Structure 1
Amino acid sequence: MPLQKLRNFLDEQGVRYVLIVHSPAYTAQEIAASAHIPGKKLAKTVMAKVDGKMSMFVLPATYQLDLSKCKAEMNAKEVELASEEEFKYLFPECEIGAMPPFGNLYGLPVYACKELAENDEIAFNAGNHRELIKLPFADFQRLVNPMIIDITKEM
């Protein structure tokens, strides 16, 4: 979803958001530093396969996805990180690794960690490595309806 399509969607839904432009950055920690956003409020998107089905996980930049916790919380037989090759085709209009956490718009289940849900607002990649969108977590939750579960460990 290119930035304009995402912005149009948010505008149609009546969401107030801020667009943040920053110097190119590729890791969640670099992005948080470049955009002057606390790592706990920067939502990173991690793609994983749950029993072979591609799924989107959203967590703070300062956390890692804990595959063992995912497996237990989701009653899954297998949870494994997906490679970029396995998911890049799902987001053809986004730069690899910069997809926004709106998996529901791509037909993907979305899981958010409980730590992210503790924030009043979050910021996330807007489809590229130079722009973020910041909005209230409550609006993200309303639009995406992620399952909120305990799936992380601190880095």
Structure 2
Amino acid sequence: MIPGSIIEYLQRYHVPFERRPHLRAISAQALAASLHVTGFQVAKTVIVHAADRLWLCVVSAPDTVDLGRVSEMLGVRRLRLADESEFIDLFPGCEAGAEPPFGQLYGLPVVVDTHLRHAERLWFRAGSHTEAIELRFEDFLLLEEPLLGPIASERPGELTYAPVEMHA
């Protein structure tokens, strides 16, 4: 069940959303399968420790956070995945492993991978392993005002473009 604080947060800021009950799913990819959507429409939250503070990194379910890219984006030298013991108490009412990406609600900054902008609607964990929240990506951006950048590892077969000098 989604904690009331999350529902109240979304309602307070007039963010349209849908609650999506599903079979118990621990991984983000299992959540996608349970909802019958592609993993690229499911956003997962990965918590990192950088510059003596915690950050929420939000990427697609099949993606992996590239710590080097996040470090570069944040301009910090030291960055690591946070231990559950460092953040579990910051998300009251939420199940461990189902931390939502709503950093404004929990006083944490948010970084979102640019790949997510390709999905019009996204499904998010919202403190529960049996219910998710569906909302428009644009509404999420307006609500959270996150940093947006390429923080996921390159996908196999994905083309990356380097600047090319043109000579006349």
Normalised-by-shorter TM-score class: over 0.9
Match of residue 12 from structure 1: 12
Structure with greater proportional strand content: 1
Match of residue 71 from structure 1: 71
Per the TM alignment, residue 73 of structure 1 is displaced from its structure 2 partner at its CA by: 2.0
Per the TM alignment, residue 83 of structure 1 is displaced from its structure 2 partner at its CA by: 1.2
- Count of residues in Structure 1 that have an aligned counterpart in Structure 2: 154
Match of residue 21 from structure 1: 21
Per the TM alignment, residue 38 of structure 1 is displaced from its structure 2 partner at its CA by: 1.2
Match of residue 146 from structure 2: 146
Q: Deviations over 1:5-60 (max 9, x none)?
A: 22222223222211110111101111111111210110100000112311111111
Match of residue 32 from structure 1: 32
Using structure 2 for the length normalisation, give the TM-score: 0.86
- For structure 2, the 5+ residue unaligned runs are 157-168
Q: Deviations over 1:55-91 (max 9, x none)?
A: 1111110110001111122221111001111110111
Alignment of 1:129 with 2:129, yes or no, is yes
Call closer, same or farther: CA 1:102–1:62 in 2, change over 3 Å. Answer: same
The secondary structure found in structure 2 opposite 1:19 is strand
Residue type at the aligned position of 1:140: F
Structure 1 stretches of at least 4 aligned residues deviating more than 6 Å after TM superposition: none
Identity %: 36
Using structure 1 for the length normalisation, give the TM-score: 0.93
What is the root-mean-square deviation in Å for CA atoms of aligned residues? 1.4
- For structure 1, the 5+ residue unaligned runs are none
- Could you tell me whether the CA contact under 8 Å between 1:117 and 1:148 is conserved in 2? no
Q: Deviations over 1:88-134 (max 9, x none)?
A: 01112110111211011111110001011222111101211000000
Larger radius of gyration: 2
Q: Which moved more, 1:144-153 or 1:13-22?
A: 13-22
Map 1:84-123 to 2 at 5 A.
84-123=84-123
Cα distance between partner residues in 2 of 1:130 and 1:75: 37
The secondary structure found in structure 1 opposite 2:24 is coil
- Could you tell me whether the CA contact under 8 Å between 1:57 and 1:111 is conserved in 2? yes
The secondary structure found in structure 2 opposite 1:152 is coil
- Could you tell me whether the CA contact under 8 Å between 2:9 and 2:105 is conserved in 1? no
